[in-house]
Amino acid sequence: MKIIDIFKLQNKEKIEIAKALFKDAYTNANYTLKPSERKKINTYFKRLDKKEPIEYILKKANFYGRTFFVNKNVLIPRVETESIIPYLLKFDSVIDIGTGSGAVGITIKKENPDINVLITDISTKSIYVAKKNAKGMDIKIIHTDLTNKIPINEYKCIFANLPYISNMDTLDESVKNYEPFIALYGGLNGIEIILRLIQELHTKKWNGTLLLEMDPQQISLIKENKTIIKDQFGYNRFIQIDY
């Protein structure tokens, strides 16, 4: 097999895998893969053919113009979530609850190093990934459930992209079979964890702005006074609740 044979497949993701595996040889279309290289790339192609997301295969995902390490323990950052970044940059202190890979919290810190950023997650495996991505950065990282153990009164904004898929929903095979259950499902109607966070902030008499990402069809289920924010595709993707 030659590099040019991969070009002929006209499969964008397989070409991307070849480019990642053979950085130098990739520019030589007539380069013939060694038996060990052929075995390796065929293994990757088989994973792709089984609908495994390329982000997990290559262990990297793009978000807001940057590359983040990801694995099967964290949700793959979605392009829709990028739309909330400009809103978060308006605050001088932000908590990113349910951070996963840390993409949101790390992005706003990189965009404005003066912002005081805290990122949290209930999953120790997610915390490992977030710490790897935040290495060397002045970001606080806490393993916790929602606002437990968090000094919320020290922060003016909380962003949360919590699990919001209903347990009854049918998901695409690439999501259902590979992305972590704990990061996807939010109970019977999808918003059980979201409602718990909203109530916790009321109970603790927090004074600040909560920004939540959710399915556009769920927004009407949130009875709080809220402002709706659209994503870059024009869908109602986020809500803002001022406490």
pTM of the model: 0.91
DSSP 54: H
CA angle 67, 96, 71 (to 5 degrees): 40
Position 163 scores a pLDDT of: 85
Nearest-angstrom CA–CA distance, 207 and 84? 20
pLDDT at 33 over 90: no
In order of their start, the domains of the chain are 3-49 (no CATH), 56-242 (3.40.50.150)
Cite the DSSP H helix spans in 34-190.
35-49, 54-58, 85-88, 103-111, 124-133, 173-176, 181-184
How many Cα neighbours within 13 Å face the side chain of 9?
A: 15
For the chain, what's the residue count?
243
CA–CA gap between residue 102 and residue 134 (Å, rounded): 7
- Start-to-end CA distance of the chain, whole Å, equals 61
Alpha-carbon distance 198 to 200, whole Å?
6
The separation between CA 223 and the C-alpha centre of its own chain, rounded to angstroms, equals: 26
From 28-37, 82-91, 222-231, 233-242, the region with the lowest mean pLDDT: 28-37
Residue pair 31/24 in contact (Cβ under 8 Å)? The answer is no
Instruction: Find the mean pLDDT for residues 16-39.
Output: 83
What's the confidence (pLDDT) of residue 2?
Answer: 85
Predicted confidence (pLDDT) at residue 101 exceeds the cutoff of 80: yes
Average pLDDT estimate for 20-24: 80
- Whether 24 shows a pLDDT value over 80: the answer reads no
Section 14-42 average pLDDT: 84
pLDDT, mean of residues 47-72: 96
Give the tens place of pLDDT for each residue, 164-219: 787 666 677 777 787 887 777 677 788 999 999 999 999 999 999 999 999 998 99
Say whether pLDDT at 31 is over 90: no
